[in-house]
Structure 1
Amino acid sequence: MKIAIDAMGGDYAPNEVVKGVEQARNAYSDIEFQLYGQIDKIKPLLQSNERIELVQADEIIEMGEEPVKAVMKKKNSSLDMAAQAVKDKKADAFFSAGNTGAILAAGLFIIGRIKGIDRPGLATTLPIVNDPEHDNFVMLDVGANAESKLFNLYQYAFMGKYYAENVRHIDNPRIGLLNNGTEADKGDKLHKAANELFAKNSDLNFVGNVESRELLNGAADVVITDGFTGNAALKAIEGTALSVLDLIKGEIMQGGAKSKLGALMLKPTFKKIAKEMDYSQYGGAVLMGTKAPVIKAHGSSKANTIKNTIYQIKTMIDSHIIDDVVEYFNAHAQQMDDIKRDAKNN
């Protein structure tokens, strides 16, 4: 398999991108890598060019640029060229840690969406704590679409189901709908309608509404939400985790010798907690609904996260998840059309 990588995308590119690619290259013998970027900056960082092809890209899409405009104008950027390689069948997947909006735009406008899917959704994997039977869950959409319609949420449920089954290896995943209460009649008109629609489909193991406070407690294996709410929830989780860690550190430093000694004794526990809460171990966020895997890693990703994301991509390709999604939506095209029409009428 071949993976096209935007080597210039991310806060620590190209250094950490190259390190992560080489770690993945050494770990997975069946992957070839195409690194798009400024060769004079990438080549000196390589320990070996085994299974790594360098492709010159004269332009870079910066983090602060307007996404769609940048993708449309900078055809010779590392991001655009990597995505174009996938469209041209020169690579099997597109990966970047760069400008999120530009990655989404490249996925939609260059690689393209699967026929029958209205709006691809961004899926991420998050940890579950204190549950021996479940260690992570998938949530989408977490930011691809600021506004979502009923039909979009319905399609997200099936894309999330296939991702959980094929990539996270969860049998018959429990599907939950993020809402402001667990009762079926909670929420606005959209969420009430989504709850009713999910519950009617026997192909979905729908467990009902899920409150945000229960996300990390294993309430569901797949949590469906609109992009605005999902992105807000994701950032709230990230911010809370960082704030709690800062609070603990601050109290230890101000607590004197006894606090520092206690912290030293609890160091293995703190490391275990940090490891469990580090969702970068699951890889990057996936744009579900495109014709080939499109994966976005966090801008601050270091080499280990890059390696983990490449393993995630490998699993997606090996499991043929895109083919499964296409097959399901083709087989249920009439049903999807009926639901879309009914959703518009209501």
Structure 2
Amino acid sequence: MQRHLSVFLAVLIAVSAFAPVTAGQSNGETESTLECEFPLEVTDATGETITLEEPPDSVVALQPSDAQTVFEIGAEDRLVGLPDNPATSDLEIGDRTAVTDTYQLVPERVVDLDPDLVLAANATDEGNVEQLRNAGLTVYHFADAESLDDVRENVLTTGELTGECDGAEETVDRMDERLEIVDRALEGTDRPLAYYAMGDGYTAGSGTFIHEAMTTAGVENMADRAGIQGYGTINPETVVNENPDWIIYPDDREEPPIHESVRATTAYQEDNVLAVNANQMSQPAPQIVDAIVAIVETVHPEAYEQASDELEASDESAADDGNESDEESAIPGFGVSVALVAVLAVTGFIARNR
């Protein structure tokens, strides 16, 4: 069972969005051609062109990352179905329909909901996507996430599809602001070697958003040094020979998922073993920034101390903006997304991916 979970996680995390938008950074604000104008015609990662005549009144998220993003941008008021399992345990399911039996998608439940839009992260089986399309549903299938830019595009695309462009752009701005603070704090610091252990020897190499999250957090990814691209396995002997300074792993298990021989490494001997929130780290969605901050806090405590006041002030500012938007904005969820981001740093749970 543990092997099944680990292998599935390796597939699940290779998820994000392909979007016909361009996001940039300028003084912490997103420069984008994103527009919420309907009718909307977009082409997804499978080459399927879908048309939305008006903003969807009902949305189903097939994967945890889809659901997390919908909540973050303030479109949760139209979310009628999502996975109900540990990977979404920090989201308010309420009376929404669970479209999974634990981690197994049940397409018939999605069809019964007859939503205006179905969001399908790349981990979704193509056969399920085709089944839903054959039932007459509008399904947007996202592409793999290979970078944090892909995560940003995931957020912006979801905003465009749901008509929550303001919430999506604010969420990306918020991500960028926190990452800029971290980047400044890490200037001139050494980058210790770190092994990201996903279980059963799996790790995240170059060409993954997890790799970029690690390097952004101020560590060198051992898998990249070992020549691993994408998600793959690494020999325990290689880990021992590389002798990482840190072992980082998702907290969806009680013990670090490492081979017994890896206990001879400097990281294990010096207790430099860090568990990060599994779904913040494993889902290509806004909370990846919180996983990055958590790594910095432990691996680079002095840099984190330098950045903590700015991060706290930034979070308070976001919360204030969110409260003001709740009162004054007529756009559903406009302020809620900002307020949610402000509390992400203290939101945690132990979650298993399929």
Structure with greater proportional helix content: 1
Taking structure 2 as the reference length, the TM-score comes to 0.25
